[in-house]
Homo-oligomer: A and B are copies of this chain.
Amino acid sequence: MRLLKGRMQLFHAENEFVEWLRAKVWSPGPRVKAGIGDDAAVLAFRRGYEILLKSDMSIEEVHFKAGFHLARSVGHRALARSLSDIAAMGGMPKFALIAIALSQRTAYPWLKSFYAGLLALATRYGVAVVGGDTAVVSHATMVDLVVAGEVEPGRALLRSGARPGDAIYVSGWPGASARGLQLLMGRPRLPLAFLTALRGRTTASRVRTPFNPRHALQSHLYPEPRLTLGRYLLERRLASAAMDVSDGISTDLSRLTEASGVGAVVQLSLFPKPANLQFGRTDWLALALHGGEDYELLFTVSPSKVPLVPPTFQGVPLRRIGEITRSKALRLVGLDGRERGLEPAGYDHFRKA
């Protein structure tokens, strides 16, 4: 989900251009195991192992708003987005490059907090920041974060491996991040002291009441990339396909099924629910389905392996929310038990705020 305009939105509007670009750009060759269209590029530099490479931009007024997002959170999120892509491939992140075009409006304390948030997350996962580029610009701040990681050859979790009959799982609490942004942008404004007290890690032990304000804000401001879960899925060979939920389940599931050439049916009754429904039921389901920036993992498991998937992993629930189908449609079974089509619909926060 993006605050203003979505990644690739331009291209969706201009299919002719996308096709031209793909035809030009996408000539993989044997060394490119996955590229445009998966979470990260999978590259075989030499025989024997593979490198993951991912670039993600964080743009002021698109991915964050200076008035709403603390600098520390902007730094955390910029890195978390790329780490989440590595997690979705089952990889291990190793190195990061930070390119930052810094608005001349921005003061040093902002930059310092930005790096503090970014580096705290990098340190936690053993990611070395090894370079980048810096410039000062007259307009909005823009960050491009590149993470390089590695993965055992031929083992990267791709989007394209889902088969009819596979169970669909999602980790954590989809919708919590979107709920956090609602709270952040709501009136009255939250006290700054409350926000600055939220830092870094969503430790599992702290999530006593999922979707409550503290958890929702934590999920939005400091999303936890599911790196250990990604490794677990890869090492146990549990997942037939995986991706991270960055633009909302409805949108991202459509990408996974498209990459796999399959369809899916999802049951709303299986979604993780807020402990106390302080906000309307419909609203919550919209957040869970279409809210983005959760950075949870969406993965599929073949029927024979379903019994091996634990209900939680390091305190994070792994919910079975549906099933892969041969028919290519995306369908949704509502709380009323009725089935309807599921339209990919990135949630627009500004409309709700």
Q: Residues on A close to B: CB < 8 A?
A: 2, 5-11, 14, 17, 20-21, 24-29, 31-32, 35-36, 40-41, 43, 45-46, 49, 51, 53-57, 59, 61-63, 94-95, 97-99, 101-102, 108, 111-112, 115-116, 119, 128-140, 142, 144, 146, 148, 150
Contacts and interface: CB of A to CB of B under 8 A. Distances in A.
Given A8-B134, A134-B10, A140-B139, A49 B46 contact: yes
Nearest to A56: B133
A53 B131 CA distance: 8
Given A8-B134, A45-B148, 4 more contacts: A32-B95, A36-B129, A53-B146, A63-B135
Contacts of A101: 57, 59, 62, 142
A8 to B, nearest CB: 6
A56 to B, nearest CB: 5
B57 A135 contact: yes
Given A11-B134, A57-B133, A51 B49 contact: no
A273 to B, nearest CB: 33
15 contacts: A6-B135, A25-B115, A26-B129, A32-B130, A36-B130, A43-B94, A53-B97, A55-B99, A55-B132, A55-B144, A62-B137, A99-B99, A101-B142, A137-B140, A139-B140
B55 A17 contact: no
Nearest to A128: B32
A73 to B, nearest CB: 18
A137 B5 CA distance: 8
A138 to B, nearest CB: 7
A41 B26 CA distance: 26
Given A112-B20, A128-B32, A137 B95 contact: no
